[in-house]
Structures are given as C-alpha cells and as structure tokens.
Structure 1
Amino acid sequence: MATRGRPKGASGEESRALLLQVAAKEFAQNGYYGTKISTIVKGASLTQPVFYLYFQNKEAVFQELVDLFRIRLVDFVNKSRLEPALELNTVQERVTYGLANLLRFFSKNPDLTRIGFYISADADEIKKQLVIQIKENLDVEVSEGYFRTDFDTHLLAECLVGIIERLTFTQLLTQQKDPEAIANDIVKLFLYGIMGTGDGSPVP
C-alpha cells in the first residue's frame, strides 16, 4: 500500500530526489524568497507532510542543494589536476578535457549551477574555495614542468574562475555555446594569449 501523498510505486528515495529536483528548479527560477514549500510539493505531486519527512524546512532543502553543488564542484576540480609525467604535447588536450567536464556538469545541471554559483549566500565562498583549489592544482603542475614558473598562480586562478563564472552565465546557460567550445576558447586564451605576429596570425 502506497504511503499517503507519495506517487504510487515511488520509494522514499525517489520522492526525496523528486523534491530536490523540483526545489532546484523553483529556487533557480524564483530565488530563495520567491519559492514556497507549497509550490515545491505541488510541482512534485506530493504533500507538505511528505516534504517534512525529508526536510526540516525550506532552508534545509536549499542548503542541501548548495552543498551538493559544492561537493560536485570540488570533485571535478580535484580530478582535473594533470597527472605526473604527461607528454607535453598532450597537456592542452588534457586541460581542455578537464575544463569541458566541469562545464558539462554545469550544462546538465543548470538549476543547481544557478543556485550554487549565483543565487546562494555561499556563492562567493564557493568561488573562493574554487580559486584555492585551482591554485593548488597549478602549483603542482608548475612543479611538474608543465607551465612556466614566472607567473602568479593565485592571480591566474582568480582570472580563470572569473572567466568560468561569466561565460557560464552568458554563454553556457543560455546555450549559445557548448561546453567543449567554451573550454577550447578558454584554454587557447590562457595557453597562447592574444599576441600575434604582426599580420594577425597567432604566435607559433
């Protein structure tokens, strides 16, 4: 016999996941203060008593979404660090692959990304942590000989996070460019800059 307020055949895990999914959409579209528990449960075809089985209040479900974004972000950045002893001619490909993976996560989870990167009061702290992680990756990669030693890795990490944040908002979430194209543009800019040879062609 199905629990009252729960769709027939749905498990507790499914109901909880559905509430998180609908809540993410509502928060992303309407902001924290514009979202109501009644709207979340209506969108999930559940009842408020079912909501309170899994979450203490609106703040609890919002914070879980923020924490989920933070955990996934940390995992992607950790996995993007270049392995030791790579062939130098594969570095660009590996950096692009790691960045594209992160952007694909943003693209596949636009509501979660809007919450964690832009709406949440924790967004600035999340981005500060992202800067620290990228700097740590860069420090290791410089020590491995992949990049020059005469640049400020913290400054570069700040610049990279700023570019990722802005292009995610203007290009990725608006579907103007796909993750791979954005990753390619960013990596080429950082690895080769914009200096030309005088005739408009790139520096070799």
Structure 2
Amino acid sequence: MSDDRRLTAQGQERKDQLLDHAAELFAERGYAETRILDIVKAAGVAKGLFYWYFENKEALFRELVEQNRLRLRRAQAQAIDPTAEPLLQIRQGAEASVRYMASYANFFALLEVENMDKAFADERTKGTEVHRGDVAALIEVGIADGSIRDEPADLLAFGVVGTVGYYGHFHRTGRMPLPVDELAAFVGRWVVCSLASDEQIARRVLAVRLDPEPIPA
C-alpha cells in the first residue's frame, strides 16, 4: 500500500471520529449547544483539523444526516429480497426501517427537534422523498400485476412512509412501549393489509416468515 493510500485511510478515520463524537454530543446537548471546540476535544484532535474536513458545524451536521440516510437505505436493501413480489418487498423494507429507526433513536429524535426551527428541513425532506420514491416504484409494479390496490402510487407510498415514520416516532418517545421486533411486525402487517388488493393476497404475503436482519454499521 502506498503512503498516499495510508494517509487517505487515516484521514477518513479522523473524519469518522469527528462525526461519531459530534453525533453523541448533538444527541446529548442539542445542535445549538454543541460547539466545534466541544467536538474536537471529544475526538482528541486539533481544532484546525475540523476545518480540513468541514466548512462549519452546519456542514458536519448535514453530512451526519446524509450518512444516516444512506445507512437506512442499506438496512432496507439488506432486508429486501429483490426476487420477491412487490408487496413482500414493501413489507420487508417497512419492517427493516422500523428496526433501524429504533437502533438510531437518539439521532432521529435530534433531527426532529432541529427540524422544528426549519434549519434542516430540507435534509429531512430529502430522506422522505427518497423513501417515498422507492416505495412508489414497487407499488406501481404491484398495481400492474394486480397484487396492490389500484390507487395513485404516490398517495399509497406516502401512506407507507408516514406509517413507518409515525410509529417510529411513537416508539422512541415512549408512547408505544413494545419490543421493537413486535412493533416492526405490526407495521409490516398494517402496510400489507392497507395495500393488498384482496385478503387472499395479504394472507399470502404475511405468511412469509421474515427474520430480522442485522443493522448495518
């Protein structure tokens, strides 16, 4: 391995350190109360190194949001069988999303709080739009093959995204004290029964046993 590649690997490790410690501090104190100085002290690096990787604190936070969105997509992709019928893929993705949101509850809670002043509303909207688009594409295939109700795909997709998001919110705020796997299975059933074009199809899709996938790091 060349020196350049070693430096690149070391640089990525230091950047990841900053991101990880920032995420912990944001969750503990909130975005506004966390200073760049706090982040570099926690990471054990010089302040100047922060600006080598990030323009400012907002840029770091936005990268954390993007990192979280990509991890969620990986968790969904890992759980979804690309050879399965569309309704089953939607169920797999919904259940994986609920489990992921529970595993990273502190970050999702932080994002909700920061979204209240609209400073990062665009980042949250981006994640929702990507999820909606993925689900809508599967719904269109399901409508075409007759397994999903013939309704506007975008409206049905927003229903799936909203169900996953709100149940995840209720769970992390303590309003739904169920074990996360039970909640994920319930959300999966809810989504299937809401979308299936008839009861027989819903029963067929729900008869498939899903084993929880490990959450990607």
Rg larger for: 1
Name the count of aligned residue pairs. 179
Which residue in 1 is equivalent to 2:143? 142
Which residue in 2 is equivalent to 1:155? 155
Pair 191,67 (structure 1): closer, same or farther in 2 beyond 3 Å: closer
Which residue in 1 is equivalent to 2:103? 108
Pair 56,32 (structure 1): closer, same or farther in 2 beyond 3 Å: same
Q: Which amino acid aligns with 1:136?
A: A
Pair 114,172 (structure 1): closer, same or farther in 2 beyond 3 Å: closer
- 1:22-171 aligned within 5 A: 22-77=21-76, 83=82, 86=85, 95-115=90-110, 119=114, 120-121=120-121, 122-148=123-149, 150-171=150-171
Q: Could you tell me how far apart the structure 2 residues matched to 1:128 and 1:118 are?
A: 20
Q: What TM-score comes out, normalization by structure 2 length?
A: 0.66
Q: Is the 8 A contact 1:131 1:158 kept in 2?
A: yes
Q: What TM-score comes out, normalization by structure 1 length?
A: 0.69
Pair 162,26 (structure 1): closer, same or farther in 2 beyond 3 Å: same
Which residue in 2 is equivalent to 1:20? 19
Q: Which amino acid aligns with 2:171?
A: Q
| Larger CA deviation: 94-103 vs 70-79 | 70-79
Report the identity percentage: 26
RMSD: 3.2
| Larger CA deviation: 182-191 vs 60-69 | 182-191
Q: Could you tell me how far apart the structure 2 residues matched to 1:85 and 1:166 are?
A: 26
Q: Could you tell me how far apart the structure 2 residues matched to 1:118 and 1:161 are?
A: 19
Q: Could you tell me how far apart the structure 2 residues matched to 1:83 and 1:56 are?
A: 39
DSSP-derived class of the 2:148 partner: coil
Cα displacement (A) at 1:113: 3.2
Pair 176,39 (structure 1): closer, same or farther in 2 beyond 3 Å: farther
Cα displacement (A) at 1:139: 0.9
Q: Is the 8 A contact 1:41 1:48 kept in 2?
A: yes
Q: Is the 8 A contact 2:90 2:135 kept in 1?
A: no
Pair 64,101 (structure 1): closer, same or farther in 2 beyond 3 Å: same
Q: Could you tell me how far apart the structure 2 residues matched to 1:182 and 1:59 are?
A: 34
Q: Could you tell me how far apart the structure 1 residues matched to 2:14 and 2:173 are?
A: 27
